[in-house]
Structure 1
Amino acid sequence: MAHDVVRSSLVDEQSSDTTSTQPVQHSTQKINLLGMSRANLERFFEEIGEKKFRAGQIIKWIHQYFVTDFAQMSNISGKLREKLQQRCEIKAPEVVHRHYSKDGTRKWVFRVGEGAGSLVETVLIPADDKSGARKTLCISSQVGCALDCSFCSTGKQGFQRDLSTDEIIGQLWIANQSYMEDVDIPERTRSVTNVVMMGMGEPLLNFKPVVESMSLMLDDFAYGMSKRRVTLSTSGIVPMIDKLSEELDVALAISLHAPNDELRNELVPINKKYPLQQLISAAQRYIRKDGNESARKHVTIEYVMLEGVNDQDIHAQQMVRLLKDLPSKINLIPFNPFPHAPYGRSSRNRIMTFQKILSDAGFVCTIRQTRGDDIDAACGQLVGQVADRTRRAEQWKKKVAQQNEIVRSQG
Structure 2
Amino acid sequence: MNNLSSSPLSILGMTTKELRAIASAEGAEAFRGNQMAEWLYHRGVHSFNEMANLPEMLRNKLEAGYTIGRSRCIKTQRASDQTVKLLLETTDGGRLESVGLPYKSFYSCCVSTQIGCPIHCAFCATGQSGFKRDCTAGEIIDQVLSINETALVKQSNQVGNSIKTDHVTFMGMGEPLLNYDQTIKALRLLIGEMDISARHLTVSTIGHVTNIRRLAREGIPVTLAISLHAPNDDLRHELIPSFTRWTINEIIESGQDYVSRTGRRLTIEYCLLEGVNDHKVEAQQLAQLLRGINCHVNLIPFNPVEGLPFKTSSPQRVVVFKDTLIKLGIQVTERARRGVDIDAACGQLRGRSEN
State the alpha-carbon separation in 1 of the partners of residues 236 and 221 from structure 2.
27
| Equivalent residue number for residue 367 of structure 1 | 334
Residue 335 of structure 1 pairs with residue 292 of structure 2: no
State the alpha-carbon separation in 1 of the partners of residues 75 and 221 from structure 2.
33
Deviation at 1:38, TM superposition (A): 2.4
State the alpha-carbon separation in 1 of the partners of residues 319 and 106 from structure 2.
25
| Equivalent residue number for residue 18 of structure 2 | 40
Deviation at 1:188, TM superposition (A): 11
Deviation at 1:61, TM superposition (A): 1.4
Amino acid at match of 1:376: D
Residues 384, 159 of structure 1: CA spacing in aligned structure 2 closer, same or farther, 3 A cutoff? closer
Residue 193 of structure 1 pairs with residue 169 of structure 2: no
State the alpha-carbon separation in 2 of the partners of residues 165 and 122 from structure 1.
14
Amino acid at match of 2:258: Y
Residue 381 of structure 1 pairs with residue 354 of structure 2: no
| Equivalent residue number for residue 105 of structure 1 | 83
State the alpha-carbon separation in 1 of the partners of residues 137 and 326 from structure 2.
39
String of CA shifts for 1:205-228, please: whole Å, max 9, x gaps: 111111111111111xx3211111
Contact persistence 2:105–2:163 (CA under 8 A): no
Residue 175 of structure 1 pairs with residue 147 of structure 2: yes
Superposed counterparts of 1:245-324, under 5 Å = 245-247=216-218, 248-289=220-261, 295-324=262-291
Per the normalisation by structure 2, the TM-score is 0.90
Per the normalisation by structure 1, the TM-score is 0.78
Contact persistence 2:106–2:163 (CA under 8 A): no
The answer to which of 66-75 and 135-144 deviates more is: 66-75
Q: Which blocks of at least 5 consecutive residues in structure 2 are unaligned?
A: 1-5
State the alpha-carbon separation in 1 of the partners of residues 170 and 329 from structure 2.
27
Deviation at 1:139, TM superposition (A): 0.6
Deviation at 1:175, TM superposition (A): 0.6
String of CA shifts for 1:44-70, please: whole Å, max 9, x gaps: 334334444333321111111223343
Deviation at 1:178, TM superposition (A): 2.1
| Equivalent residue number for residue 25 of structure 1 | none
Q: From 124, 137, 140, give the equivalent of 2:100.
A: 124
Superposed counterparts of 1:395-410, under 5 Å = none
Aligned residue for 1:193, secondary structure, equals strand
Residue 232 of structure 1 pairs with residue 165 of structure 2: no
Q: From 145, 160, 174, give the equivalent of 2:117.
A: 145
Deviation at 1:378, TM superposition (A): 1.3
State the alpha-carbon separation in 1 of the partners of residues 180 and 24 from structure 2.
27
Contact persistence 1:145–1:201 (CA under 8 A): yes
Deviation at 1:30, TM superposition (A): 2.6
State the alpha-carbon separation in 2 of the partners of residues 301 and 198 from structure 1.
13
State the alpha-carbon separation in 1 of the partners of residues 62 and 234 from structure 2.
56
Give runs of ≥4 in structure 1 deviating > 4 Å.
187-190
Across the aligned residues of Structure 1 and Structure 2, the Cα RMSD in angstroms comes to 2.3
